A and B are shown apart, each in its own frame.
Chain A
Amino acid sequence: MDVTNFFSIASQQNRWLSVRQSVIAQNIAHVNTPGFKALDVEPFEAVLNATGLKMQKTQANHLSPVSGTGSDAQTKEEGEWAVLHSGNSVSLEEQLFKASEVTGAYSRNTGVMKVFHRMLLASTKG
């Protein structure tokens, strides 16, 4: 695999992780809001495969679709396994577990990126 390709995948995953973190933050903030349904983002594999498909340009002045909102990963409702009487389906433990999972993955990603960057620098500096 190409090193630059690795950087693009790693930053893509970091972006996906930060979108996921913001969705988890939203779930945790709404832990006491009646009727709130917990959300989660699509798995990274789905996002990674979807980004390979781009709209074909047949003319130079065709615009390529750019996501204007903060989150480009689709969100979906989570399986409701702990729905309270108020209709709230947020499980605090589950969300905190997910949040620490995200932070762990992010730190692993940035760590690997650092190492690759060092390698790149070592080979360019000689």
Chain B
Amino acid sequence: MSAITDATAMTPLFRLRRATRNTATLTWRNLMGYLRIPEALFFSSVQPVMFVLLFRYVFGGAIQVTGQAYVDYLMPGIFVQTVAFGAVSTSIGLAEDLQKGIIERFRALPIARSAVLAGRTSADLIRNVIVVAIITAVGYAVGFRVTTSVLGYLAGVGILLLFAYALSWGFAVIGLSAPNSETAQVMSFPILFPLTFASSAFVPVQKMPSWLQGYATHQPVSVVVDATRVLMTGGPTTTLVWEALVWCIGIFIVLAPIAVWRYRSRA
């Protein structure tokens, strides 16, 4: 066995390699969890597809956007909404692991302290890559076209995933604060709704009442949607992309330490 029985073997390099290896193992474990419940995976991708159909064919006709087809306006919004709602799975997953005592068991193993949270958020990042691919295909089927370039699309996806990853750490805080997974789920929605719907994801902010416009323009979902939109369908990119990056990094810098702190004190 390669078990360490000597404290002097715990060099920084060893710790780093161990943290990486432990994170990889737990990422695999969490992904297997998703794969083994295909129903959950199926229905969690059905929901964004329904949103695509709902806004494309039911509400879309009544929404006026200037300068582009509504479906091109809509899809970047759907992307961001989907990864934002997907972040709930981070909180549910952690709350469930706490509830079942498996995190306690992990704490009795010689693993890196960071591995449980890193493994969970990494698995959710990989899940998001797959979800974004599915939604792109669905978008193409209903008439969405990337009008910039493949590079523009990939840059948009990059920002989207960065936002999703940062948000995962925020939802980790909820998962680590909730008494059980059901509560973690209901605690998440009051945060998600004002973020995703009072945003530029589905309708132009200019159509909202003036008191709402300030919030709706500058809140992170709108900024990330706008950045993704210009990267995929054209428009002036620089300011929006910077703003989006600042939001993503800011969310991560503030919420990740809180998640780590919650994990240490609660698990």
Partners in one complex: no
Residues of B within 8 A of A (CB): none
